[in-house]
Amino acid sequence: MTQLPLPLGAICMSRAFSTATRSRLTEVIKSSLEYADQHPQESLKYIKQHAQESDEMALRQHIDLYVNEYTKNLGEDGMRAVQFLLKKAEDQELIPESTIDLF
């Protein structure tokens, strides 16, 4: 066992983007997450329009599963977990190896 958190989902971008583009996209994503965190009813309203589940409690539990402190900041453990999974995928030749830093 790795004792690392399990990344359940991710917002990803191509490593081919320039550093400036990756930085700008990161800022936009963080801003969006902050807005959603500060306006939970708006977020829930949007999710209800697109979700198969209609029970509000179930939707909130689902949101809490994916939107948590790791969403705001992976931290060292979260970054190690992502790097571990990518290394495993490279070793299995599921994705090409890369020398570009992730974080």
Summarised one tens digit per residue, pLDDT across range 43-75 is: 888 888 888 878 889 888 888 887 777 788 889
Does 10 reside within a domain? no
Distance CA 80, CA 83 (A): 5
Looking at the fold, whether 92 and 67 belong to one and the same domain comes out as no
From residue 26, how far is each of 33, 41, 51, 52 by CA, in Å? 11, 24, 26, 29
How many structural domains is the chain composed of? 2
Quick one: pLDDT at residue 37?
83
What confidence tens digit (pLDDT) does each residue in 8-45 have? 777 788 888 998 999 999 899 889 888 888 888 888 88
What b/e string do you get for 18-39 counting C-beta neighbours within 10 Å, with b at 16 or more? eeeeeeeeeeeeeeeeeebeee
- Tokens matching residue 39: 């306006």
Q: Identify the band that residue 90 occupies on the pLDDT scale cut at 50, 70 and 90.
A: very high
The reply to whether 4 falls in a domain is no
Tell me the residue type at 96.
P
> Which domain covers residue 43, as residue numbers?
19-72
- Residues 60, 30 share a domain: yes
**Does 24 lie in the same domain as 47?**
yes
